[in-house]
Amino acid sequence: MENLVERLAKVEERSKSNTKRIDTLEEKTKENERVLNNVDKSLTVTVEQIKTIAEDLKQTSINFKEAIMRSNAANSKETEILKEKYNDLEKKYEKLDTKIEQETVIKDANNWRNSKSKIASWILTGILAIVASALGISKFF
C-alpha cells in the first residue's frame, strides 16, 4: 500500500506541476490573445489610413491632371495671342520699313538733284571764270 501512496503522491505532484504549467500557458495564451487583438486593431487602423491616403492620392492625381490640362489650354490661348501680336507687329514693321524706304529714296533723290544743280553751278562758275580770265576781267566791268 505504501507503493500506492507513493504513486498517489507522485501523481498529485505531477498534477500540481501540470496545473502550474496549464495556468502559465493559459496566462500566456491570454496575453497572446490580447497582443493579437491589439495588432489586429492597429492593422485595421493602418489599413483604413492607407485606404484614405490612396483615395487622397487618387483625387490629387485627378486634380493635378485637370490643372495641367487647364494650364495647357491657357498656354495655347496665350500662344495664339502672342502669334497674333507678332503678326500685327510684323505688319507694322513692314509698313514702317516701306515708309522709311520711300522717305529715304525721296530724300536721296532730292539730295541728288541739289547736288546736280550745285555741281552744274560750280562748273558754270568755273567756265565763266576761265572765260573771264582768258578775255580779261577788265572787259566785263
Residue with cell 505531477: 14
Q: Burial code of 17-31, b = ≥16 C-beta within 10 A, e = fewer?
A: eeeeeeeeeeeeeee
CB 109 within 8 A of CB 101: no
More confident residue, 139 or 41: 41
Residue with cell 566791268: 141
Question: Region 5-22: what's the mean pLDDT?
Answer: 84
Tell me the three cell numbers of residue 134.
582768258
For residue 16, CA distances in Å to 3, 21, 23, 25, 115 come to 20, 9, 10, 14, 139
More confident residue, 105 or 45: 45
- Give the per-residue pLDDT at 64: 92
Q: Compute the distance between CA of residue 120 and CA of residue 126 in angstroms, rounded to an integer.
A: 10
pLDDT level of residue 74 (50, 70, 90 thresholds): confident
Q: Compute the distance between CA of residue 76 and CA of residue 63 in angstroms, rounded to an integer.
A: 20
Rounded to the nearest angstrom, the gap between the alpha carbon of residue 17 and the centroid of all alpha carbons in its chain is 76
- Give the per-residue pLDDT at 51: 94
Q: Nearest 5°: CA angle at 129, between 128 and 134?
A: 95
Tell me the three cell numbers of residue 19.
496545473
The answer, yes or no, to whether residue 139 has pLDDT greater than 70, is no
Taking only the tens place, the pLDDT of each residue in 53-71 is: 999 999 999 999 999 888 8
The answer, yes or no, to whether residue 85 has pLDDT greater than 60, is yes
Tell me the pTM: 0.44
The answer, yes or no, to whether residue 141 has pLDDT greater than 60, is no
Q: Compute the distance between CA of residue 92 and CA of residue 84 in angstroms, rounded to an integer.
A: 12
How is the chain split into domains, by residue range? Answer: 2-140
pLDDT level of residue 90 (50, 70, 90 thresholds): very high
The answer, yes or no, to whether residue 81 has pLDDT greater than 80, is yes
- Give the per-residue pLDDT at 53: 93
